Structure 1
Amino acid sequence: MTRMSAEERRESVIRAAITEFARSGYHGTSTEAIARRVGVSQPYLFRLFPNKQAMFLAAAERSLADTTRVVEEAAAGLEGEAAMYAMATAYQRLIAEDADKLLMQLQMNVAVAAAEAVGDHAFGDSVRAAWVGLWDVAHLALGADVAETTSFMAHGMLINTLVSLGFPAAHRVWSGFEVPVSSAPS
């Protein structure tokens, strides 16, 4: 059996943290659960990350980076409506294939909002920066048109809401989408 390097172990912790935080949220997830999922001790986790917040932020940044990569790859070589369609389809597929992707996005929003509510404005800085990176990728693919980018991102947030609430694909709330809604539960 080959031993993992510290970087490989760190990657496995980030993947496990995404799963645990997605399912239980920031406050509902223990570092013990993350350690158990990875198969390491809690003290080992804290050699890789200084604290739970750092684990959450690494998971959030990775989740947004993965989403950004999917959107960017979908739009490669395309412009305007073709890019929008490709990005929307890729995003829908992403959240349809891995419920933790959607759940992690929702948990990020909750965790940052909760921190902001108690005056911790720094907690969300890296999450906001990663989200701006996603915005920028979509913005450039859509011809740097602010209205198009806003509409595209707003549709993505609406898709998140409808999928998380479990609206079936045939429900009338999906009728305004021009892109087929493959991610809606049947």
Structure 2
Amino acid sequence: MEIFDYGELVRATDGFSSLNLIGRGSHGSVYRASLAGSGGCRRTVAVKRVTLTSHGESYQKLSDEIATLSSLPPHSHVVRLLGSAAGRPSVDDLRHHPPPLLVMEFMGNGSLHGSLHESPEPPSWPTRFSAALHVARALEFLHQRSEAPPVIHRDVKSANVLFDKDWNAKLSDFGLAATADGTPNPAGTIG
């Protein structure tokens, strides 16, 4: 996992401009960013800016999400975590910490929720079937990993199913995920 420069991510999102806003969730906002890549090429990534809470719950969820995603080998139907960045306290106010950032694989065709409910033309039935199959494969991968405890996502919904540029569906948002320890605890968000 790569450690990104916080300032570079702020610049790459134009200061978290609303023009680069991809979406908002219960735990933060996601922005499009263009970063310098190898050979002078630019690469587009998604930057998740976590909404901080005073009681540290968001830090714990972020920490859990990083731990879960960084423990997974790459899979074609799970959004890849590329890295993270931690903000430094302001020189003027050492108590103020900018929110941590996650850098994720960019999914250029939005969410299944957006395709179903916000698009003027909903996806075809073959596209819907393909998305369901891709999510099932992602869940099978998470639940049946032989080298580590299973990962339980706990928030599978259309807003957390994203499409890449080729319309491959990938499961995202592992903020509520947990490794299976034999004690099931229901969790999730409505939607």
What is the TM-score of this pair, normalised by structure 2? 0.25
Higher relative strand content: 2
